[in-house]
Amino acid sequence: MPEEFDLKSFLAELPNLPGVYRHIDAQGEVLYVGKARDLKRRVSSYFQKTANSPRIAHMVARVQRVEVTVTRSEAEALLLENNLIKRLKPRYNILFRDDKSYPYLRFSAHEYARIAYYRGATSRQGRFFGPYPNSWAVRETIQILQRVFRLRTCEDSVFANRSRPCLLHQIGRCSAPCVGLISVQDYQADVERAIRFLDGHADDVLKDIEARMFSASERLDFEQAAMLRDQMGALSRVLQQQSMEQIGNDDVDIIGVVASGGRTCVNLAMVRGGRHLGDKAFFPSHTVDDTPADVLAAFVAQHYIDTRMPPVLVCSHKLPDPQLLALLAEQTGVKARYIIRPQGLRKTWLEQVVKNAELALARSLSESGAREARTLALATTLNLDTDAASLEAVRIECFDISHTAGEATQASCVVYQNHDMQPSMYRRYNIAGITPGDDYAAMRQVLSRRFTRVADGDAPLPEVVLIDGGKGQVEVARQVFVELGLDTRVLVGVAKGEGRKVGLETLLFADGREPLQLGVESPALMLIAQIRDEAHRFAITGMRARRAKARTVSRLEEIEGIGARRRQRLLARFGGFSGVVDASIDDLRSVEGISDELAERIYHALR
């Protein structure tokens, strides 16, 4: 401990109150974040002579100071702990990749409700179902609702401006409420049946459709009876095609944890309204010395602090802290119970979840072995620390510039860490205020913007910063780092070889080291090429999207007689620029303010 931090006095002054503690090393990096019911007792336990696990002992040896935050309750401490873990990603905490929010199926609050794929807060108007384990599960459910209940999926701007039914109506996937082919009452009744189906009452919905079919037949309304017959047949086929048997209308999450080869897999399966929606595998980092039960507890705490928790959890292991679900309930308002010895169908579900976790872990171990070997090869080549913990923490950022003849210049930054690309950490930077096509100025701007935060102490410096370019680009990067007072040894340029062939690249160093040509067989160079190519792909897609957005507006603006108001009417009428392009002359002239002559001018200008 440094002289200015008196551990003995610090521990003596700690309160016997709930809160969060942070272990910090000499460089100011947060090594570990934890919560405690009693801060004094919990923090003191780390510095007693009783043996900790090797990982915790290694961490304690690096601790230079401890910071604590007192909270009003242990539940509040749980929330703060998980927020800090997600933000700081401490090296000794069990970490789960912070993916995008889970997708939902949303019924809008319109008179003619729209069904749509949705991500985000569920506080908006409408009815939400989920969460679903992946986007595929949501889209499959939407297709089911289209086939059976014929509900609309179109955007509001398209719905409000239709003059005739779309293709979905012609193939029996929509009842065409946009042009009044179904009454509000009948459409809302279909919406209610769809909601009951998702709530797990499929048999009731089936009986209701059957009763209506017979009633229509008795009234000699054979067309309506045939439509209901087709709807009932579609629903029956859906129920027969469910990948797993139903059980009531339960909402259940099944969680299986499997450890092997120094890695752990957590597999989560979701059952909503009795329908098994699929599963999703997670591979947490920093779990070498942790038991499956510890990993399960970390997953439950991190996952359900901001994701809706169902009333029942079926788990492969016992939670080490029996109060965890109570704390989550206090924080989220959702009470849940967990089962570790399920019977019947739930037992079958858990066995399948564990089996899928084993298969996913086996695949991951096979793939990660090759990835770790490449990370080790690169670390050896660049003289980085090569112990296992350091290798996993190695962060590589790669920068690339993309534009078309100076138009829509963008810089991309992609990140490699934990032996894999980390898309959630990617960033794009719009470049402005430079001479079009000046790649050096663009590189200077993006590096200055990114690494000023590092120089200010608001972010750590990556172990490697790759620059896609030759001597000129590397020199610009070196100048920026010198101006900011940063270590230029982390800068590595990737100069393309003859014919831009992979394997012929030369590595250039900003600190004066001799250039390196590793050769086509080098796993280190293959990793660098993968990261460089990903940066280029990410920059290109961003630049094209930005350019397309700019040109969408400019192509309409370039047509004589199209001002801001007419452009707005056209885009609203046809649901966007592509709709305007696809519109016929008759469609265009139906828009207010568009004459026959102007409609022809627009039509030909966009061809």
pTM comes to 0.58
Share the mean pLDDT of the chain.
Answer: 82
- Nearest residue to 262 via CA among 415, 421, 416, 55: 55
Render pLDDT for 390-422 as a digit per residue (tens, 0 to 9). 787 889 999 988 876 556 678 889 999 888 888
Map residue 514 onto helix, strand or coil: coil
Map residue 498 onto helix, strand or coil: helix
Q: HSE, CB side, 13 Å, CA atoms: give it for residue 530.
A: 17
Residue with tokens 């900003």: 510
Cβ-contact 275, 246 below 8 angstroms: yes
Give the pLDDT score at 447: 94
Q: How confident is the model at residue 20 (pLDDT cuts 50, 70, 90)?
A: very high
Q: At residue 140, does pLDDT exceed 70?
A: yes
In 10 A of CB 418, how many CB atoms? Answer: 22
> What would the two tokens of residue 591 be?
């828009």
3-state secondary structure 152-181: ECCCHHHHHCCCCCCHHHHCCCCCCHHHCC
Render pLDDT for 279-288 as a digit per residue (tens, 0 to 9). 888 888 877 7
Distances (CA, A) of 149 to 145, 394, 475, 544: 5, 52, 63, 38
Distances (CA, A) of 208 to 214, 226, 389: 10, 15, 60
Q: Tell me: cis bond preceding 320? Omega within 30 of 0 counts.
A: no
181 residue type, one letter: L
Give the pLDDT score at 235: 60
Render pLDDT for 241-269 as a digit per residue (tens, 0 to 9). 443 444 455 788 999 999 887 788 999 98
Distances (CA, A) of 46 to 50, 225, 564: 9, 73, 66
Low-confidence winner among 12-21, 154-163, 484-493 (lowest mean pLDDT): 154-163
Q: Which domains, ranges and CATH numbers included, belong to the chain? A: 7-88 (3.40.1440.10), 109-241 (no CATH), 252-363 (3.30.420.340), 395-547 (3.30.420.340), 558-605 (1.10.150.20)
Residue range 314-326: mean pLDDT, rounded? 88
Render pLDDT for 572-602 as a digit per residue (tens, 0 to 9). 777 667 777 778 887 788 888 888 888 888 8
Q: At residue 2, does pLDDT exceed 70?
A: no
Own/partner pairs for 535-538, CB < 8 Å, 24+ apart? 535/398, 535/399, 535/400, 535/412, 535/413, 535/414, 535/466, 535/468, 536/400, 536/402, 536/412, 536/468, 538/400, 538/412, 538/414, 538/426, 538/428
Q: At residue 125, does pLDDT exceed 90?
A: no
**Who wins on pLDDT, 207 or 202?**
207
Cβ-contact 561, 601 below 8 angstroms: yes
